[in-house]
């Protein structure tokens, strides 16, 4: 399994970024996927998740209305569109694969994800 995130950077408050995650080594379309993040000095936080066929998306309250998760199963790629960014969004962002195939619910527990990538740094300046 390999997950490679990209698209991070430094933006000003109110700016936008689009993160991508290229997946390989497993059947991407069979797995629930999520974005996690780790802010400086804090633990790993679940941010957003998407079902296998994209019919269901979920977000942590702090990013609702600002972030949009999507996936392209034909390209084995997960995305996170981030708009209206705030300094508190500063973190390393990871895409993560849920541990079981064909999972149809939403998992907010970071311990339920068995693989994630090296992460991409997002820094929002005030």
Mean pLDDT in consecutive groups of 10 residues from the start of the chain, 126 residues: 98 98 98 97 96 95 98 98 98 97 86 96 96
Closest to 118 measured CA to CA, from 88, 97, 93, 90 = 93
3-state DSSP call for residue 60? coil
Bin 84: left if φ > 0, else alpha if -120 < ψ < 50, else beta: left
Instruction: Report the C-alpha gap between 126 and 65 in whole angstroms.
Output: 20
Instruction: Report the C-alpha gap between 39 and 18 in whole angstroms.
Output: 18
Parallel/antiparallel/unpaired status of strands 44-50 and 17-24: unpaired
Phi, psi (degrees; rounded to nearest 5) at 24: -155, 165
**Contact call for residues 78 and 97 (beta carbons, < 8 A):** no
Give residue 107's pLDDT: 87
Give residue 67's pLDDT: 98
Instruction: Report the C-alpha gap between 2 and 120 in whole angstroms.
Output: 15
Give residue 1's pLDDT: 97
Element (H, E) at 73: none
Residues 6+ away with beta carbon under 8 Å from 5: 19, 20, 21, 93, 94, 95, 117, 118, 119, 120
């Amino acid at each position: 399994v390999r997950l490679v995130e990209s698209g991070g950077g430094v933006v000003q408050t109110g700016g936008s970024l689009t993160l991508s995650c290229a997946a390989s080594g497993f059947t991407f379309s069979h797995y629930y996927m999520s974005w996690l993040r780790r802010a400086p000095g804090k633990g790993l936080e679940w941010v957003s998740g998407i079902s296998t066929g994209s019919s269901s998306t979920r977000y942590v309250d702090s990013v609702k209305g600002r972030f949009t998760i999507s996936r392209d199963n034909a390209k084995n790629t997960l995305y996170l569109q981030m708009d209206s960014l705030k300094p508190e969004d500063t973190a390393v962002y990871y895409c993560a694969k849920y541990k079981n195939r064909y999972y149809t619910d939403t998992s907010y527990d970071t311990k339920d994800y068995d693989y994630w990538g090296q992460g991409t740094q997002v820094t929002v300046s005030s």
